[in-house]
Amino acid sequence: MSDLQQNYAGVFDGRLGFGRKPVILVVDFIRAYTTLDSPLFAADVVVAVAATVDLLTRARNKGIPVIYTQVLYSASGRDGGIFVQKVPVLRMLVSGEPLAEIVPELSPQPADVIIVKQYASAFFGTSLAAMLTSMGIDTIILAGCSTSGCIRATAVDGMQHGFRVVIPRECVGDRHRAPHESNLFDIDSKYGDVVAKADVLAYLGTL
């Protein structure tokens, strides 16, 4: 790790920091990743869900908007295109399937927004960018799963749409520690800031 950090030093180690108007974006924290007998189950996602509970409580107490994403496909799966051909297990995520529901620990509240998506990025094919721009948002605090998939894709697109992306590392998870850590390193190097949840809570406390 020291060799890797030295290699990136002075090139890919910039910091964006927090802006003035944040949103909490909760990506795909659904039962499929937290239910033990689900093919998508990931133990580290269960831990990340638990770590996100007080983050949402703090945000709501401060009047900070919370947006969720949820993956849903039509019965035919055609709206999943090549993605569901590459990852057929996703085809089970249809309306009415319990595993497709947002985890009860992080139940959306009446003021929250739920965006339905079919691909990895929360921005791709959705109204997210336009909605955040209309709200004057400049900072996305990103929680969810999986780190190497939908979190990475959303972080990259968030930066490309002009938003500061901040990831509290305790609040994201993946199936395996190796892709989780490598993607957090890469996101932190090029697309956003990966920080401790305590730093995010401290920032929210200043608002």
Catalytically active residues are 150
Q: How many CA atoms lie within 13 A of 83 on its CB side?
A: 18
Residue type for 13, please? D
Cα gap 41→138, rounded to integer Å = 33
Cα gap 135→160, rounded to integer Å = 18
Residue 162: φ, ψ to 5°? 95, 20
166 to 39, 77, 155, 172, 198: CA distances (angstroms): 29, 32, 8, 11, 12
Q: Which residues contact 57 (CB under 8 A, 6 or more apart)?
A: none
178 to 2, 57, 183, 194: CA distances (angstroms): 17, 30, 9, 16
Classify each residue of 96-109 as buried b or exposed e, where b means 16 or more C-beta atoms within 10 Å of its C-beta: eeebbebbeebeee
